[in-house]
């Protein structure tokens, strides 16, 4: 019998000054047995950065056909597809064909640099693709906030994100490698 997912409950108050988005989200995150705390926190940070009332977690590691996060319109069409890690170029092409906007979020330092160098030219052909990097040290620092039930605040301003738990906070400063159609962060 395989290991089961660990379930986390998160209450996050988001103040996204850049987009004018202010909301409280009650989330349930299932940590796949093969998923480490860094990846789980990277998923949570990606949610915060692109938060919307219709943004939801996909089955991610449990189903390779689903993104880590996605947002669908009322007709069920995929507006935003968010994938973490370093997917291969063919998976990125498929995602770009399914969604209006695709966002790749890497969070692993040097391996992400190697992946980017290998794929940058082919990714440039996808006009609906945004690629961002999260700093490994910043994600690891934020991972210290993980508890089975967590209450966090997040403030996004000028492209940076401050994650706050009580008196402690961590700044996460995403680096944009490529923006879809020349658009800015928080598309």
Delineate the domains of the chain, giving CATH numbers in brackets: 6-182 (3.10.640.10)
Q: Which residues contact 47 (CB under 8 A, 6 or more apart)?
A: 12, 25, 27, 55, 57, 69
Q: Both tokens of residue 64?
A: 């390779």
Q: Is 153 helix (H, G, I), strand (E, B) or coil?
A: strand
pTM beyond 0.85: the answer is yes
Residue 5 carries which DSSP code? P
Spatial strand order of the sheet with 160-165 comes to 21-31, 6-16, 149-157, 160-165, 168-172
C-alpha 153/C-alpha 133 separation (Å) is: 21
Tens place of pLDDT per residue across the chain (187 aa) = 457 889 999 999 999 999 999 999 999 999 988 889 999 999 999 999 999 999 999 876 556 678 999 999 999 999 999 999 999 999 999 999 999 999 999 998 889 999 999 999 999 999 999 999 999 999 999 999 999 999 999 999 999 999 999 999 999 999 999 999 754 444 3
Q: Tell me, what's the pLDDT at 2? A: 56
C-alpha 168/C-alpha 115 separation (Å) is: 33
Q: Tell me, what's the pLDDT at 60? A: 60
Q: Tell me, what's the pLDDT at 33? A: 87
Residue whose structure tokens are 């669908």: 72
Pairing of strands 160-165, 149-157: antiparallel
Q: Is 9 left (phi over 0), alpha (psi -120 to 50) or beta?
A: beta
Provide the Cα torsion 110, 114, 120, 123; round to 10°.
-90
Q: Tell me, what's the pLDDT at 177? A: 94
Q: Could you give phi then psi for residue 73, rounded to 5 degrees? A: -80, 180
């Amino acid at each position: 019998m395989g290991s089961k997912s660990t379930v986390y409950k998160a209450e996050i108050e988001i103040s996204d000054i850049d987009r004018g988005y202010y909301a409280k989200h009650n989330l349930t995150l299932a940590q796949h047995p093969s998923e480490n705390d860094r990846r789980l926190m990277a998923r949570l940070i990606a949610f915060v950065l692109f938060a919307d009332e219709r943004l939801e977690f996909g089955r991610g590691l449990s189903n390779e056909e689903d993104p880590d996060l996605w947002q669908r319109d009322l007709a069920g069409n995929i507006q935003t597809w968010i994938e973490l890690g370093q997917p291969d170029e063919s998976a990125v092409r498929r995602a770009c064909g399914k969604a209006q906007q695709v966002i790749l979020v890497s969070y692993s330092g040097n391996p992400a640099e190697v992946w980017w160098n290998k794929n940058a030219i082919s990714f440039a052909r996808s006009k609906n693709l945004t690629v961002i990097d999260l700093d490994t040290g910043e994600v690891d620092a934020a991972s210290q906030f993980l508890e089975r039930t967590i209450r966090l605040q997040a403030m996004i301003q000028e492209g940076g994100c401050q994650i706050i738990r009580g008196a402690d906070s961590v700044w996460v400063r995403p680096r944009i490698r490529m923006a879809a159609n020349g658009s800015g962060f928080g598309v």
